[in-house]
Chains A and B, each alone.
Chain A
Amino acid sequence: MSSVIWYLYEFARKSWAEKFAAAKTDPEIMETPSRFRDFPEVRKEYCIACGACTAACPAPMAIKLIRSSDSAEEEGATYPVINHRGCIRCGFCAEVCPTDPKTILCGENHLIREEFTILPVDKMFIIDDYLCIRCKKCLKTCSQVAGAISEVDNKFVIDQSKCIGCGDCIKNCPVKGAIKGIYINHVEEQKDIINLVVDTLESRIEEDQEKIKKLEPEEVYKIDLPMDDLVKKAREIIRNDEIIQDTIEKITDRLKMRILTWDDEKCNNCRLCVDDCPSGAITYDEEKGVQRNPDKCLRCSICYQTCPFGVAGFYVARFLFSGTLKDGVIHITLKPSQLPIRS
C-alpha cells in the first residue's frame, strides 16, 4: 500500500511530468572519446605508393591503392583508399606506413616507431652478390624511400626489417637478376610450377629428336613454345598470375638443359659406355644389345665422350621467355655441345 502512495506522489510532481514529456537520448553519447580509433584518415600528398598498408591489412577488402589519371603537367598521384565496409579500425596500416609524415593516420597510436614496423610483405628482396656490379643505383633509390639497403664489407645487403617491399630497387638495377624478389608464400606451389615448366620443355624437345640428330656441329636449332597450355596447367596449381609469371621468368632465365640423343643404328655393341656410365643407365642385354634408360640418365655426357661411333649426341638448350602470360612464347635455342670427344 505504501508503495502505491509513493508512486502516486511521484507521478503527481510537476518535474516528473516535465521529464517524462521531454525524455530524449543524452546528446553526449554521440560524442566519441579522445582515444577512439575511427576509420583511418588518408593524406594523399605524402603517399609514396609502396603498398605497405595493403600488404599489412588483416581484412582482405579494406585498403586499395589507386592512381588518378595523368594530366599534361605531371603523372597521376597514387594513394590508398579505405573501404569502410571492410575496414576493422585496427590502425595497423597507420602503424606500418613508412612515410614521414604519415600518409595514414588512425587514432592515437603512441608506439608508431621504426623498430616495430615489421612488414608482412609477400615478397622478399635479396641481392645476388655474384651478379652485383656495385653501381650503387639501388642504394640511392632506397635511401629516398626506406633506407634498407646498406654496404657491409664491400657487399650490398638488404635489411629485411626495414624493407617495405616497394620493388624500386629492381626497376633501377641495370643487371637482370642481380636483385630478386622472391615470393615467400606458396613455396610448394612454386616448386610444382617449376617442375611443370621443366617437364613441358623437355617433352617438347623430345618431339623434335629426329631433327636434332641431323644438326651440323655449328648449327643452331630454334623452337618457339606458345604459353597457352602451360599457363592453363599452372593456373590449376595456383590461381595467382603474378606468381606464375614471376616463376616462369626466373626459371627460364637460369635454366640450362642438357639433351642427350641416342642413335641405335650406329651402335656396334662395343660396350665401352656400359662400364663408364656412373648411374647404371646404360645396360647390355644379349638379345637387345646396348640399352639406355632415360629415366636414370644424369646427362653427364660421359657416354658421348666415350663412344667411338657417335651413337650418343649431346646438345645444350637455353631458354628465353618474352611477352606476357597471354601472348608470350618461350624461345628454345638448341645447339650441339662443343665438348671434346675422347676417343
Chain B
Amino acid sequence: MILPLGPIHPGLKEPIRLKLKTRGEKVLSAEIDYGYVHRGIERVMEGKTWQKGIYLSERVCGICSYIHTQTFAETFEKIAGERAPIRAQFLRVLTNELDRIQSHLIANSTFFKAMEHETLFVYMLHLREPVMDAIELLTGNRVNMGWNVVGGVKMDVNQSHLDSIMKIMMDLESEYDKYVEMFEHGPLLGLRSRDVGKMTRDDAIKARAVGPVGRASGLKHDLREKHHTYHDNFDFKVIWRKEGDNYARTMNRFDEITQSIRLIKQVIENIPPGEVRKKINIPAGYGDWRNEAPRGEVTYMIETNGNLINNVSIRTPSIMNIDACAKYMLKDVATVPDALATYASVDPCIACTERSVIIDDESQELLERQNKKEE
C-alpha cells in the first residue's frame, strides 16, 4: 500500500510529499515529490547588480541564510581576485559558526519532535534562543541578517559585543552537556535511534551525501578544512562517525556544536584590529566557490559582466541528502514513525532544494522551464 504524507502533515514542518510504500506497519521503500516552494530565484537574480543579488541569495533558505550570502560574496571576491580584510574574515567565521549552532540545534529539536520526545525538543529550543540573541546583537536581525557584502561585512563590532557573545557561549557550554547526556545515554531514545535508518559508507558515496549526513556515515569531508580563513588561523579537525544511523547523525551534530563553540572562542580571543570592508572593483568573468553550510556543501557559480549578474547557478546540500534518505535510509524500516524520524534526522530543508529544472527523459522537453522568459 502507498501511504502519502504531506505536503501539509502534522509530522512535517515544510511542504514536501513523501510516498511510503508499506506492507502492514513496515515501510518497504519511499519516494519523494518536490516542487512545492519553487520560486525561480536564480532567474530573478539575472540582470541584477550584486547589491540586490546578495539579498536574494539570502532568501534561498531561511535557516542557513548566512552561508549563502558568504558564498555569494566570496564568489565575487574570487572573480575580482581579492580577499576581504582579515578582520572581516574573522567576523564571517564568527557569524558562520553561530549560524551553524542554531541550525544544528533546530535540526536536532525537529528530530526529537519526530521521535515524540517533547522534553528534549523544548530544551533544544531553549538553548537556541541565546544563540539567536547573539546573532541579533552581531548582525541586527535574527534570520535574514543582511550582514555580508562583497569585500567584507557591513558593521563593525566593539569589544563589549564580543564579550557578551563570549558570555552567551560560556553559558551555553555549561548547560549543554546535560542535554547531550540525556540523548547519549537515555535508554528509550537510544533504542529508537540506534540502528534505525542505517546508511553505509558505500551507499553514502553513491547517493553523494554531504554534511553531517555524509560524515556520520564515514565520509571524512568538511570544506572548512580547505577554506583559507580556517586553514590559516584556526585549530580545526573534521568530526566524523562510522555508524551511519539516526543516533550517529544526531551525535555528529552535537559534537559539531561543541567544536563551533571552540571556534567562536578562538575567534574572539584572536580577532585582529583593522578595517572590516574594502572596495572591490569587479571585472567581467566567471567564478565558482564552495562552502560548508550547516547541512553540507553549497556551491555558487556566477557569471558577471562587471556590473550585472549574467547567470547564476546554486547547488545546495539538501537535495543530495533528501535523495540519500529516500533511496538508502527509508528501506525496510520497521514502523512508519521510525520512517518519519529517519526523514527528520537528515535535516531536510525544502526551501533550499527547489531550484531544479525537470527534463522529460524521452522527449527531452523541459517540463518546468526555470528560465521562463515571458512573464
Contacts and interface: CB of A to CB of B under 8 A. Distances in A.
B133 A33 contact: yes
Contact of B155 (A88, A108, A115): A108
A120 interface: yes
A91 B156 contact: no
A190 B133 CA distance: 49
Contact of A88 (B137, B144, B161): B144
Contact of B140 (A37, A111, A184, A185): A37
Main secondary structure of the interface of A (DSSP, over half): loop
A287 B141 CA distance: 84
A92 B52 CA distance: 9
Contacts of B161: 35
Given A37-B141, A108-B140, A116-B277, A92 B133 contact: no
Most chain B beta-carbon neighbours within 10 Å: one of A33, A58, A88, A185: A58
- Identify the interface centre among B48, B140, B149: most chain A CB within 10 Å of its CB: B140
A184 B307 contact: yes
Contact of A120 (B51, B146, B276, B277): B51
Contacts of B146: 37, 88-92
A120 B52 contact: yes
Chain A: number of interface residues, binned into ranges? 20 to 34
A111 B156 contact: yes
Nearest to A89: B141
Nearest to B153: A111
Interface residues of B, number: 26
B308 A33 contact: no
A33 B307 CA distance: 36
A330 B372 CA distance: 35
A322 interface: no
B49 interface: yes
A36 B55 contact: no
Contacts of B56: 58
Contact of A92 (B55, B137, B156): B55
Contacts of B276: 111
Interface string B275-289: 011010000000000
A88 B54 CA distance: 13
A118 interface: yes
Interface string A78-98: 000000000011111001000
Nearest to B129: A29
B154 A109 contact: yes
A90 B156 CA distance: 16
Contacts of B141: 36-37, 89
Interface string B34-54: 000000000000011101100
Contact of A116 (B140, B279, B307, B308): B279
A97 B144 CA distance: 22
Most chain-B Cβ atoms within 10 A of its Cβ — which of A37, A89, A107, A115? A37
A13 interface: no
B136 interface: yes
A109 B146 CA distance: 11
B277 A91 contact: no
Interface string A28-45: 000001011100000000
Interface string A119-131: 0100000000000
Contacts of A92: 51, 55, 146
B55 A58 contact: yes
A33 B47 CA distance: 36
Contacts of A95: 154
Given A88-B55, A90-B55, A185-B308, A33 B155 contact: no
Given A35-B140, A36-B141, A110-B154, 11 more contacts: A35-B139, A36-B136, A37-B146, A58-B48, A58-B52, A88-B144, A92-B146, A108-B155, A110-B156, A115-B279, A120-B52
8 contacts: A35-B155, A36-B140, A37-B141, A58-B56, A90-B146, A92-B146, A111-B154, A111-B277
Interface of B: 47-49, 51-52, 55-56, 133, 136-141, 144, 146, 149, 154-156, 161, 276-277, 279, 307-308
